[in-house]
């Protein structure tokens, strides 16, 4: 044990870990942009299989997935910039 570690009068500087939290949140941007369209594609493909309407539901839900991904990225960037 280092001398003075257990001394209540010794003050250590507080470390700010907010940058780590923000870096972790920012690292999800890539996943959001990939997963959202994949989910949209999967839902559209499933609906097309049930309704025999290929490729219309797939295209619509793929576009909705891309839009949802960009919406989430915009929300995240706004949250991180505060």
Residue 4 has pLDDT above 60, yes or no: no
Please, which contacts does 48-57 make with residues 24 or more away whose CB atoms are closer than 8 Å?
none
Is residue 37 within 8 Å of 66, Cβ to Cβ? Answer: yes
Each residue's pLDDT tens digit, 62-77 = 999 999 999 999 999 9
Contacts of 37 (CB under 8 A, 6+ apart): 62, 65, 66, 69
pLDDT tens for residues 30-52? 999 999 999 999 999 999 999 99
Rg (CA), the chain: 23
Question: Whole-structure pTM over 0.85, yes or no?
Answer: no
Average pLDDT value for residue range 8-28: 82
Residues ≥6 apart with Cβ < 8 Å to 59: 44
């Amino acid at each position: 044990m280092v001398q003075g570690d257990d001394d209540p009068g010794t003050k250590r500087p507080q470390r700010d870990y907010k940058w780590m939290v923000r870096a972790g949140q920012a690292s999800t941007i890539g996943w959001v942009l990939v997963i959202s369209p994949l989910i949209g594609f999967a839902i559209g493909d499933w609906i097309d299989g049930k309704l025999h309407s290929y490729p219309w539901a797939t295209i619509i839900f793929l576009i909705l997935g891309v839009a949802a991904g960009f919406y989430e990225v915009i929300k995240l960037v706004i949250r991180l910039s505060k």
